[in-house]
Amino acid sequence: MSLVFDAVLCLVLLAGALGVVTTGAARPAVIAFIGYGLLLGLAWVRLAAVDVALTEIAIGSGISGVVLLRCVRALPAEPLTPAPNRMLKPLAAVVSITIAAALAAVVLALPEPAPSRAADVAAALPATDLGNPVTGVLLVFRALDTLLEKVVLLLSLVGVWALSRDPACRGRPAPLSPEPAPAPSAFLARVLAPIGVLVGLYLLWAGADHPGGAFQSGAVLAAMGLLLVMGDQIRTPAAESRGLRLLLLAGPFGFLAVGFAGWATAGVFLGYPPGAEKAVIIAVEVAITVSIAVTLGLIVLGPPAGEERP
């Protein structure tokens, strides 16, 4: 029975992906992409990877979808497209099918029994006092990757801000909509945001032992922040605000500080103090969640529009 479900899910997933790449118009393609992302999240659940499923739905489909939809609205309705070469599509189809077939053959040829690090993780996890092995890999065993990925996130915001018309990068982002928010969305923001924030905090709290964690939580919190902005409940912050900068830096550099402290407490960079591992790891998670939420939200809002003139 579950095999039938998986087969149907795979087929729908493929249909969605094909829809995205064959639809000529931008908006339907993006909407198809968001749906495809949700289905992909379902596939991750079926692969027993609930943490990944949450991340895919929150970031891969959710926040990415918002970014892409904003882009569709900002682009001219009919982009100038040169007449495509008639041979292009059949040729591309042949190339893609060949690649897919070759990869399918590779998947079928993967070795049995499959190599795995699960046993290593299981052996090392108890020392960290964490219940969720994925959080253990992200924040303990491969903490360096996670730390640097925070820097990537910060850097992509720097890249977006560098596209501001103001070379000094000041002011607030252009408003999401020129008109004041209609009453329903203000109402929605007031009602939904507190619930969403609770969900986000739960994801953060649960992440140590159950599926969830900083990214999923940060994405939900960012979405709630955007909801409040859209409902005119809060103003978007100015890029030069020192407090905002501190929030952006708290995650990556808090993490880095803990890494350096590891030299004193555990004798090694990115080591955790023996006995207090879990408390420190959760503190790091809180800091990076805050930064992720703020960074994701600001990336969606776009480059600051320059200093306001009174």
Partner 1 sequence: MSALLVLAITAPLLGLVPLLLLGPRTGERAALGMLAVNVAITAGIAERVAQGGRALGYVVGGFAPPLGVGLRADGFSAAMMLMAALVLLFTGLFAMTGPGDMTRKVKARGSAGMPATFFILLLSLACALNLAFLAQDLFTLYVALELLTFAAVPLVCLEGKAGQLSAALTYLLFALFGSVLYLLGVVLIYGLYGTLDIAHLAGLMAQGTGGATAGAALALMSAGLMAKAALFPLHLWLPPAHSGAPPAASAVLSAVVIKAPLFLLVRLWSDLAPLPLTQVAGPVFALCGAAAIVFCGVVALAQERLKLLIAYSTAAQIGYLCLMFPLAASDDGPWSALAWTGGTLHLVSHALSKAAMFLAAGLIAETMGHDRLSGLGGVGRVAPVSVAAFGLGGLSLMGLPPSGGFVAKVMLLTSALQQGAWWIATVVLVGGLLAGGYVLRVVVIALQHPDSDAASGRGLPDARECRWRALIALALAFGAMLVGFMPLAPLPFLDIGRPVTWEGLLP
Partner 2 sequence: MTGALLFGLAGAALVGCGVYGLLTAPGALGRVLGFNILGGGVFLMFGVVARRGAGAGFGADPVPQALVITGIVVAFCATALAVALLVRLCAVQAEAARGGDGDKET
Tell me which residues touch partner 1 (CB under 8 A). Answer: 102-103, 106, 109-111, 114-117, 120-121, 124, 140-145, 148-149, 151-152, 154-156, 158-159, 161-163, 165-170, 239-240, 242, 245-246, 248-249, 252-253, 256, 259-260, 262-263, 266-271, 307
89 near partner 2, judged by CB under 8 A: yes
**10 is a contact residue toward partner 2 (CB under 8 A):** yes
Q: In terms of Cα–Cα distance, which of 1, 34, 3 is closest to 16?
A: 34
- Asked if 200 interacts with partner 2 (CB under 8 A), we say no
- Long-range interactions of 22-28: CB distance < 8 A, separation 24+: 26/72, 26/75, 26/79, 27/69, 27/72
Pick 98 or 182: Cβ nearer partner 2: 98
Q: Which stretch binds partner 2 (CB under 8 A): 3-11, 177-185, 240-248, 255-263?
A: 3-11
Distances (CA, A) of 198 to 53, 152, 189, 296: 20, 27, 14, 18
Angstrom distance (rounded) from CA 259 to CA 273: 10
What's the token pair of residue 73? 């609205």
Cβ pair 222, 157 in contact under 8 A: no
278 interacts with, out of partner 1, partner 2, none, CB within 5 to 8 A per kind: none
* CB 1, min distance to partner 2, A: 11
Q: Is 166 in contact with 307 (CB distance < 8 Å)? A: yes
Q: Choose the stretch contacting partner 2; rule: CB under 8 A; options: 90-98, 191-199, 221-229, 241-249.
A: 90-98
CB of 5 to partner 1, least distance (A): 24
Is there binding between residue 226 and partner 2 (CB under 8 A)? no
Cα–Cα–Cα angle for 232, 202, 250, rounded to 5 degrees: 70
The binder of 243, among partner 1, partner 2, none, by C-beta within 5 to 8 A per type, is none
